[in-house]
Amino acid sequence: MLVRDLAWEDFEGWVELYYTRYDEVLTNKDLGIYTYDSKPTLADEAALFGDVWKSVLTGDLVATVGESDGKLIGVCTIHRKGPHREERHAGILAMMVHPDWRGRGLGGRLLSRALHQCEGKFEIVQLTVMEKNVRALALYRKLGFVESGRLPRAFKRDGEYFDDLFMWRPIEPSKVPPRA
């Protein structure tokens, strides 16, 4: 398993990895991820990847990927929260790991590398995670993220509601707040 920076050539692997979410949610209703009503088109994915790459080039996004045998198996991005100077210090985290690679340390390696790359670009990283995504919650807590709020009933699948948790951590490890 190799963890490295995102490359322009990763587009096909990016799409394949993203599409696994739609296949997995059909067989795992408890999967703690958001999806659209249908898979985005290849054109939609190309536009998204182009925006991601533009943000990498402008310094508004860091992106790490994991690969095994030349195949993309995980992605971690942290993008600038917004264009206003009052929020440019914050990054927003997004991650996806192929189902076959979860629980094998890839997520931690991707996130650790991405957090390191945020030094000098962001002061804090924020995220939301569904309360039912216990594996992701454990990883985020292990890497110094703390819960800062909860949005009740933010997620609904098959008539069942779940809360979204808000978490954050500073980029500078010495300023990570203690766990509550």
Q: What rounded mean pLDDT belongs to the chain?
A: 91
What whole-number distance in Å separates Cα of residue 146 and Cα of residue 164? 14
| Closest CA relative to residue 72, chosen from 7, 24, 136, 127 | 7
Domain locations along the chain: 2-175
Query: What's the pLDDT score for residue 177?
Result: 58
* pTM, entire model: 0.90
Query: What's the pLDDT score for residue 94?
Result: 96
C-beta separation of 178 from 147 below 8 A: no
Query: What's the pLDDT score for residue 53?
Result: 97
Query: What's the pLDDT score for residue 63?
Result: 97
| Closest CA relative to residue 77, chosen from 98, 58, 62 | 62
Phi, psi of 61 (to 5 degrees): -155, 140
Burial of 24 (0-12, 13-18, 19+ CB in 10 A): middle
E strand or H helix that includes residue 95? strand 90-97
Residue range 79-86: mean pLDDT, rounded: 92
User: Could you report the per-residue pLDDT of 41-53, keeping only the tens digit for each?
Assistant: 999 999 999 999 9
Query: What's the pLDDT score for residue 34?
Result: 80
Q: Please state which CATH number belongs to domain 2-175.
A: 3.40.630.30
